[in-house]
Structure 1
Amino acid sequence: MMHPMSEPLFPEYLLWIWFALTALSVAYVAWDLFTSTPAMKVMKWGWVLVTLYTGPVGLLVYWFSCREPSLGTHEQFVAPMWKQAVGSTIHCAAGDATGIIVAAAITGYFGLSMGVDIWLEYAAGFGFGLFIFQALFMKDMMGLSYGEAVRESFLPEWMSMNAMMAGMLPTMVILMTRDMRAMEATSPWFWASMSAATLVGVVVAYPVNYWLVKNKLKHGMGTERALGHGGTPVAEEATPGRAPQPMAMAAMAGMHHGTTPAKGEAAHQGHAMATMPGMDRSSGAQVSGLRKAVVTLLTLAMLAVGYYLAARYGDLTMRPGEPMPAMPGHSM
């Protein structure tokens, strides 16, 4: 007899309805991004991946925070800080969640215990987020070498990853403890669990990313016409008669005429854009080492709480394919 904790939360047909809505959501987001909304390339792929993991919820967040409402308004539309923080969180989730999900599929295939699995997932999520979505995709935009991009991205990515995993870890473990089919990537319940875990992870990671963007330690929501450095500051948009920044005008003109700057020119313009008001990434150096240490410790505390919840309400010893162990307060 199956343990009561192995009963699914809802009928499987609802799962397939969710997957169908997810497919439609991904199709729309991809179509809109690659035909209409001038988000920078890394954010386009980030939105597609996160919508794949979060379904209609991801579509709703995209609609209200990134989708260009009318031609030429993307910079102003994404300028509010809460939208900038959404962009940072999506960027984080695309890299971290992808690494975690891939690692979970591999460890499930090899039958590793959940207690080992979660830390391999953590390493994979952090590695994919840092070396691919942060450093590799951002080095040209910021005019840095790959090594410099890794060094500058390390601490912000680590803070963000800790928060992301603090949400995903207990969600995955608790759902997989309830139904151990969710430990195997061949089961639809695996993908349902990962979808739920990503949603929780995004919610938990958002406040940390808000702080990182506000303190210029991470970039916010980007737009191609500003070479990926975020929307035009609200203060500039609201100033009557103020002429646009020359570099912004050049970047916009290039986009409108279907031209793109050469790699060296892009790096030069990226550096110039980084020195514009509200876009100075070097101002991150103004954040004291003590404040960075405090926030880092806070994210580690969040991760510790996530681990406690996973150990308290889930089973870290379970392995794919093994019989469901008895849980306290239940009988077989």
Structure 2
Amino acid sequence: MIEQIQNLIDTWTGLGVWLALVAASVIWVIRDLRTNNDHIPSIMQWVWALTVLYSGPIGLLIYRYSGRKEIPTDSLARKGFRSVAHCYSGCGIGEILGVIISVGLFAMGNFWAAIITFSLAYIFGFAFNIGPMMQNGMSFKDAFSGAFLAESISIVVMESVAITTDLYLGGESTMGDALFWSSLYVSLSLGLFAAWPANLLLIKTGMKGGMGDPRDAEQSAHCH
């Protein structure tokens, strides 16, 4: 089964088509954020741009479903996607760096590749979550203690799926192989979808508040 998937995604043509879709999706979301949704806080604009960069048209669909003022109503599902995107934007940076460093540059075995990639993903993912809290005046200690448990659960679920997928799907590929980059893209999106139900549960139980309704942000911007 894994070999069949590897054969399917191990083509430069397929990767090129995907990257073209990613580029078009990023351009669309940046344009929409600047023209129709510029009221969204800057950190969340970065979150959406990075989410679409990692997941292309899939990320764009998630943004259109949950991240714009044009959504018809809010829901737990939409809150879950906004919450997981926030985590995803930081974790993605760490995962990409970790895979390139550990596998691409130093050809480490799966154990050390997983440790390094997870560590970087955790650091960046956690930073992207407590950074906005500290910008709003919260101390590092309060932001850390308030977010530690919920974000740790979200990150562990996301990266367990993403890293495992990437290491096994990428196999012995190197940075000169299409499979190396294709498997990285596949693993990122699978990690996002794996963490979404975890974020739904965290929000439902009150462990996470969920990111704010983008329609409320527009009303607040108009009031100011």
Is this a same-fold pair by TM over 0.5? yes
Distance 1:31 1:6, change over 3 A: closer
Alignment of 1:111-260 (within 5 A): 111-130=107-126, 132-141=127-136, 143-177=137-171, 180-181=172-173, 183-184=174-175, 187-223=177-213, 226=216, 252=219, 255-256=221-222, 259=224
Q: Which runs of 5+ in 2 are unaligned?
A: none
Choose from 89, 94, 98 the match for 2:93.
Answer: 98
Q: Is the 8 A contact 1:163 1:204 kept in 2?
A: yes
Distance 1:7 1:204 in 2: 21
Q: From the two aligned structures, give the one with the greater helix fraction.
A: 2
Distance 1:224 1:9, change over 3 A: closer
Show the counterpart of 2:7.
Answer: 8
> What secondary structure does 1:9 align onto?
helix
Larger-Rg structure:
1
Alignment of 1:33-52 (within 5 A): 33-37=33-37, 38-52=39-53
Amino acid at match of 2:142: E
Q: Which runs of 5+ in 1 are unaligned?
A: 228-250, 260-332
> What secondary structure does 1:94 align onto?
helix
> What secondary structure does 2:8 align onto?
coil
Q: Is the 8 A contact 2:170 2:184 kept in 1?
A: no
Q: Is the 8 A contact 1:83 1:221 kept in 2?
A: no
With the length of structure 1 as denominator, give the TM-score of the two structures. 0.60
Q: Is the 8 A contact 1:25 1:55 kept in 2?
A: yes
Distance 1:6 1:65 in 2: 30
Structure 1 position 7, deviation (Å): 6.4
Alignment of 1:31-70 (within 5 A): 31-37=31-37, 38-69=39-70
Show the counterpart of 1:86.
Answer: 81
Deviations 1:12-67 (A, max 9, x none): 21210110011000111111123322333222111111111111111111112222
Show the counterpart of 1:305.
Answer: none
Amino acid at match of 2:153: M
Deviations 1:212-260 (A, max 9, x none): 1122322323357756xxxxxxxxxxxxxxxxxxxxxxx936x226x5x
Amino acid at match of 1:117: A
With the length of structure 2 as denominator, give the TM-score of the two structures. 0.87
CA-based RMSD of the aligned residues comes to 2.4
Q: Does 1:110 align with 2:106?
A: yes
Deviations 1:98-150 (A, max 9, x none): 111111112221232222111111111111111x2011122233x41122111
Q: Is the 8 A contact 1:40 1:223 kept in 2?
A: no
Q: Is the 8 A contact 2:68 2:215 kept in 1?
A: no
Distance 1:34 1:194 in 2: 29
Count the aligned residue pairs: 219
Distance 1:6 1:220, change over 3 A: closer
Distance 1:199 1:19, change over 3 A: same
Identical aligned residues as a percent: 29
Distance 1:31 1:213 in 2: 30
